[in-house]
């Protein structure tokens, strides 16, 4: 097996004799010594369909993705990006985002909160992201989805959202 270390004045290169390697066949390797925290699987969904809502109750954005963890000890790292616009004549407006795993809310808080000091109304389109490390304690299929609602303002508008789920081994 050849060894090469690139860079610096102390670059190393050479060969380890096969007899010095306990198991020289890579086909026989069953585990790598990285410990916990390995990414076991990844799934992603992207939703660029525009929609609008005047509801003050949560409505589905249309962005959902499912994952089946390989063990109950696995965690699910949830990476979310979204662009939700709010517009209206009121000086203070807000849109809430709800992140659900099946029926369990993992995040329910502001996605956008605006203040207008001039009194002429506001319009905002922030593009934002968040991550949630979830411990679902399940090896059954789990569905993650996004919902939104306006708190005030005339209308909330979904422009873009994505969810990436990474199963992290324990």
pTM of the model: 0.74
The enclosing H or E element of 145 equals strand 142-152
69-103 confidence digits (pLDDT tens): 999 999 999 999 998 888 776 667 788 899 999 99
Nearest to 152 by CA among 97, 82, 84, 96: 96
Nearest to 39 by CA among 10, 67, 1, 7: 67
108-135 confidence digits (pLDDT tens): 987 777 766 565 666 666 778 899 999 9
CA dihedral 73, 104, 76, 129 (to 10 degrees): -160
């Amino acid at each position: 097996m050849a060894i090469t270390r690139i860079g610096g004045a102390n670059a190393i290169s050479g060969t380890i004799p096969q007899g010095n390697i306990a198991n020289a066949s890579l086909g026989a390797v069953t585990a790598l010594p990285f410990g916990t925290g390995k990414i076991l699987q990844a799934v992603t969904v992207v939703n660029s369909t525009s929609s609008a809502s005047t509801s003050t109750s949560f409505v589905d954005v249309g962005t959902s993705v499912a994952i089946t963890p390989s063990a109950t000890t696995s965690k699910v790292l949830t990476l979310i990006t979204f662009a939700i616009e709010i517009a209206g004549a009121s000086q203070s407006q807000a849109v809430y985002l709800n992140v659900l795993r099946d029926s369990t809310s993992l995040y329910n808080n502001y996605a956008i909160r605006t203040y207008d000091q001039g009194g002429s109304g506001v319009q905002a389109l922030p593009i934002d992201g968040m991550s949630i490390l979830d411990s679902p304690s399940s090896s059954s299929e789990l569905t993650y989805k996004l919902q939104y609602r306006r708190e005030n303002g005339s209308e909330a508008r979904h422009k873009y959202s994505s969810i990436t789920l990474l199963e992290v081994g324990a």
